[in-house]
Amino acid sequence: MPIRGGLPPRNPRFVGREDLLSRVRGLLGNGPVVLLPSADHQLGGTGRTQLAVEYAYRHAETYDLVWWIPAEQNAGMRAALAGLAQKLGLPEARDLNRTLGAVRDALSRGEPYRHWLVVFENANRPEDIMPYLPSGAGHVLVTSRNPRWTAEVAQALPVPVFDRADAVDLLQARAPELSVGDADRLATRLGDLPMALDLAAAVRTATGWPVGEYLERYERRAAELAFPTPVRVTWGLAADALGEAAPADRVLLELCTFLASAPVSWQLLWAARTLPLEPEIARTVRVERRLRAAMRRIARFGLAGLDPSGERLTVHPLIRGMFGQELSSERHAELLRIVRGMLSAADPGDPDNPAGWYRYAELAPHLIHSDLLGGDAEEVRQLVINCIRFHFARGDYDSSRELAASAVARWRDALGESAEQTLLASFHLANALRAVGRSADARNLNLQTLRTQREVFGADDEATLATANSVGGDLRMQGHFGQARQLDADNLVRYRRLFGESFPTALRCANNLAIDLRLLGDFRGARALDEQTLRHRQAIFVDGHPETLSSRAALAYDLYGLGDYTGVAGVLAGHAEQVAEDHPFALWAGRLTAMAAYRLGLAEARDLATANLEACRQRFGDLNVDTLATALSLANCVRAAGDLTAAHELLERAVIRFHAVLGDEHPFTLAASAGLAGVVRAAGQHHEARTIDEEVISGLRRSVGADHPFTLSCANGLAADLFAAGEGQPARELAADTLRRSRVVRGADHPDTLACAWNLALADQDEAAQRQAVEALGKAYGDGHPVFRVTAAGQRLETDVDLPPL
């Protein structure tokens, strides 16, 4: 049996179409096929979706995988593709676009399934699905109403109405007692159009109308219409019949007019029970049993599809459109108000919590069709904001950005630029912009939003503080660590005054401030803050909570910066296993473990760092700062092992990418360049290393100051460059200054300070100082560490740079 996902139920009354099914099969061997309405039925109703469903079931055994993707809206399409990624065994990237690209590439390669069928339903914008179209031995089938498909994208196959024999078969399958003559009369009047035939058959079954009576009613209704198409007339008869049998059911179906083509669950309709409604519809939605019965009756009249479990209704776009055209402006406004209220009542809240994501996945497709952006009620707009955050939290940054940008544009006009929810949407838009690489746009928007919030709501407003935290993130991304520290320190004081020091958002702010301190080289201050934050989080969160694990990773980075490499393992022990292998915490823990192993001289450090880099590439991509920092850590291991060529390739590539991602003057770019200088120096190219180091140290002194660990590491290397050039006096002065600063900043017993002491003693040819330095290194590292092979050979020691998370 093939793996299946999202495939609608098979139509047990499907008839005919043998020639079309054969043509689909033949054309798919040449590339994607798009099923379109025939030229005389551009609005649809010819059975494209049913044809695609039947093809999928009929040929399922020839495929390893069959996956159905609703493509009417981008967010729903991306969610379905993300589900396919799990079935393909692909790691989930933080950015959903990377996951979707991996899906396309895996299908194209035929890994792990060579023969597959992917169906894109209602893909009405070819440009939306083109980035996700795979190639290879599999097949892509598309249904669409849009004729703008070029042969380069897909082969167009118009789906015509039934031939007469198939039309008669369909009618007799629904009513076996129907004579061939009566079936022929009906088919003739309905133009053999599949949707009209199906509606007529359903209504006759539900009402018991004989063929003659049905045709009489058909003619009367057709005479009332200016353009009496078969679908419009048969729909009107079905809607009227439903309204006569159960008026509340028709109202329920009218509500679905304002929802998307995505399946509508009874739970969503049930949410309307809290709203002020007409008595009859209120009685129906108040009790689950009655609501489910109404859904069954709607399906019985052919006006919607009901899944086999009776859980979800699916209303055809044509049916939705015709209901909408029949409504008066007053009735339209009233029903739209109810639908918006129903959707907001179904909002589970807490969009960051994965436990509620399935609820948001159901709500999000309906936002556009119900025009939630135009809702007047505050709770309706809050649902929009929560959906923006939901998309962001699950990694669909494009959907988050698109929805947030639409909300900001609409609400600025309707509510004003300084309205609370306009500013909230702006805050979330900035987050999404940053996530898709538009850091400058995010920074500018955040600054504008923060200024307005402070003017309108004050600096102590919770939303203002959240934006200020985001601005702190922007400052870190720019490399302005000191400014970020000032802002986050002010935020923390305000958070603690307003909410107390153990409030979750106050702890997040404390976490951010510790990041700032760590980036500034103040590992002692960061450690004190991280230890306090971890204690609070352990007290208020369950074991294994992501924020507690994040605090552990932060504390481990602090210990590493303080030179306590054995302490790193103690903090992380047993906790990385509490999350998935590609979870950010697990990747941070893996990188720290590799870094500490390298510093401790363990043989497995290089393998650990190699595996961690590959995992980061899969999760974050090659241009992510965490990935680039991991490449720098691996390069340190590789250089120490003597593989200078591989280390140079790693660092050269990382430096180029740091320049592209963070800019030329960012401290991380400069620190990575210092690492590259170390490899160049190890290869004996001291002049080239000096050129790099002099440029780097100048930039670091400007950006983070002369006492920063990055600057001290670069200065240690530059001193070696000067000695190699025969400039003994300036080299010695720089080495002595670096040692003095390192003792103050890092501490006298820090391994990097001891390395600086050894280098100065070596330059001075001071044997007593050399013995003292080696003895101190022995206390720091223990016996048998590789560092002693270097000192025994009378060579200088490098002080490598590792980058903490931004």
Tokens of 599: 């510093």
Residue 582 has pLDDT above 80, yes or no: no
User: How confident is the model at residue 542, as a pLDDT?
Assistant: 83
**Distances from the Cα of 256 to the Cα of 290, 307, 343, 371, 491, angstroms:** 17, 16, 12, 13, 46
Average pLDDT, the chain: 93
User: How confident is the model at residue 411, as a pLDDT?
Assistant: 97
User: How confident is the model at residue 85, as a pLDDT?
Assistant: 92
Q: Give the residue-averaged pLDDT of 98-103.
A: 90
User: How confident is the model at residue 576, as a pLDDT?
Assistant: 67
Over residues 373-420, the pLDDT tens digits come to 999 999 999 999 999 999 998 888 889 999 999 999 999 999 999 999
List phi, psi (to 5°) of 606. Answer: -65, -45
Q: Look at 75-79, 656-660, 694-698, 745-749 and tell me which has the smallest mean pLDDT.
A: 75-79
Give the residue from 558, 547, 614 showing the smallest Cα distance to 581.
Answer: 614
Percent with pLDDT over 70 in the chain: 100
Residue 120 DSSP symbol: E
pTM over 0.95: no
Over residues 157-214, the pLDDT tens digits come to 999 999 999 999 999 998 999 999 999 999 999 999 999 999 999 999 999 999 999 9
User: How confident is the model at residue 207, as a pLDDT?
Assistant: 95
Contact 676, 648 (CB under 8 A): yes
Contact 752, 572 (CB under 8 A): no
Give the residue from 528, 533, 628, 527 showing the smallest Cα distance to 568.
Answer: 527
459 exposure class (CB count in 10 Å sphere: 0-12, 13-18, 19+): middle
Residue 581 has pLDDT above 80, yes or no: no
List phi, psi (to 5°) of 33. Answer: -125, 135
SS3 at position 747 = coil
Q: How far apart are CA 251 and CA 230, in angstroms?
A: 23
Amino acid at 375: G
Amino acid at 510: A
SS3 at position 52 = helix
Q: How far apart are CA 734 and CA 165, in angstroms?
A: 95
Over residues 462-508, the pLDDT tens digits come to 999 999 999 999 999 999 999 999 999 999 999 999 999 999 999 99
Q: How far apart are CA 67 and CA 64, in angstroms?
A: 10
Q: Are strands 3-5 and 33-37 parallel, antiparallel or unpaired?
A: unpaired
DSSP E strands in 221-379: the ranges are 264-265, 305-306, 312-314
Over residues 557-575, the pLDDT tens digits come to 999 999 999 999 889 887 7
Which residues, in sequence order, are CB contacts of 530 under 8 Å at separation 6+? 511, 514, 551, 554, 555, 558
Contact 552, 536 (CB under 8 A): no
Tokens of 686: 């001291």
Over residues 703-722, the pLDDT tens digits come to 999 999 999 999 999 999 99
Contact 402, 359 (CB under 8 A): no
Tokens of 537: 């989080």
User: How confident is the model at residue 2, as a pLDDT?
Assistant: 81
Residue the block writes with tokens 């999000």: 364
Residue 8 DSSP symbol: P
Peptide bond into 112 cis (omega under 30): yes
Give the residue from 625, 623, 639, 548 showing the smallest Cα distance to 591.
Answer: 625
Contact 627, 613 (CB under 8 A): yes
User: How confident is the model at residue 347, as a pLDDT?
Assistant: 95
